Structure 1
Amino acid sequence: MKTYNAPHDVEHKWVVIDATDVVVGRLASYVAKRLRGKHRADFTPHIDTGDFVVVINAEKAKFTGNKLADKTYYRHTGHPGGIKETTAGKILSGRFPERAIEMAVKRMMPKESPLARTQYKKLRVYAGSEHPHEAQQPEAVDFAAMNSKNVRVA
């Protein structure tokens, strides 16, 4: 029996996902899977077989339960005692709402490897409905219709 290896010249598709009223964690899980290429039959762990993913309307994404008020994100300034914290609600209503989805996806990707960094760079998240990737002819994926749990109606 022979182990199958995907070719190094894999063709990466472009995918557009609308995040309107979609649960952030479920969306992040799906996006991480597409970025890694685990949805493909020829997935190989050491080769980048993933797609380019464009997420639009990130500001309209939803959290379930009390996560808007309770979920806390931490960062460190690099100075002693420089830990800062913010909530998911502040991030979504703030200046860069796309960071909530970016952080969720990044934390679902493999850690500390050049391949993981390359795969993560194929993610583009935009707060509004406009994106500059029409020239790549991205395929629209209706993530909200895949499962009734994917959408949270406020």
Structure 2
Amino acid sequence: MRTTYMAKTNEVQRDWYVIDAEGKTLGRLATEAATLLRGKHKPEFTPHVDTGDFVIVINCSKVVLTGKKLEQKKYYRHSGYTGGLKVTKASDMIKNKPEEMVFKAIKGMVPHTKLGDAQIKKLRVYAGPEHEHQAQQPKNWELKS
């Protein structure tokens, strides 16, 4: 009788990948990054075990939003006090905090559980082309679109 393979946490081989966001669509970029973080690209993927890899996203300031999203998309946050709703348009966000915009897009595609919290900690996002993880010898990851 065959049994289903279940990956063990200590047996997982983790790699480092660099994704260049220049000229890429935000949603497609976030989908690929979330897939790498979760480990769904590996044959030993197990839903309840963190089998994902580390992901570095560079050039976030050059990411593309399609349609009218640059003017119509809004990011909300609340201070917790009465009348404390803060609204930021995507055009302001890409100008001031592009790495936060990409981070939020990727975080929304990872499970909202303790496992997802562990997976999102393996994400590094940078606005420019430079990153500080050369020692890990990251591999380039080309998007499928």
Instruction: Output the TM-score relative to the length of structure 1.
Output: 0.90
CA distance, structure 1, for counterparts of residue 19 and residue 116 of structure 2: 21
1:85 equivalent to 2:87? Answer: yes
Alignment deviations for residues 13-59 of structure 1 (CA, whole Å, 9 cap, x no partner): 00001000100000001101110111111100111100000000000
1:142 CA drift (Å): 2.2
Give the 4+ runs in structure 1 shifted more than 4 A.
none
- Give me the whole-angstrom Cα distance separating, in 1, the residues matched to 2:139 and 2:65: 26
Supply the distance in 2 between the matched residues of 1:99 and 1:68 (Cα, whole angstroms).
Answer: 15
Q: Percent identical across equivalent pairs?
A: 50
The match for 1:21 among 17, 23, 29 is: 23
**1 CA distance for matches of 2:114 and 2:86?**
28
1:114-135 CA distance string (max 9 Å, x none): 1110100100000000000000
CA distance in 2, matches of 1:82, 1:127: 28
2:9 counterpart SS class: coil
Q: For residues 8 and 133 of structure 2, what CA distance do their matches in structure 1 show?
A: 26
Deviation at 1:7, TM superposition (A): 2.4
Flag structure 1 segments of 5+ consecutive residues without an equivalent: 148-154
1:92-135 Cα deviation digits (max 9, x unpaired): 011x2111110001111111x21110100100000000000000
Please give the per-residue CA displacement for 1:62-102, whole angstroms capped at 9, x wherever unaligned: 100000000011100111121111111110011x2111110
Structure 2: gaps of 5 or more residues: none
Q: Which residue of 2 aligns with 1:74?
A: 76
TM-score by length of 2: 0.95
Matched, 1:107 2:93: no
Q: How far is the alpha carbon of 1:12 from its aligned partner?
A: 0.7
Distance, in Å, in 1 between the alignment partners of 2:3 and 2:13 is 23
Secondary structure of 2:31's counterpart equals: helix
- Give the distance between the partners of 1:100 and 1:14, measured in 2 at CA: 22
- Alpha-carbon RMSD across the aligned residues, in angstroms, is 0.9
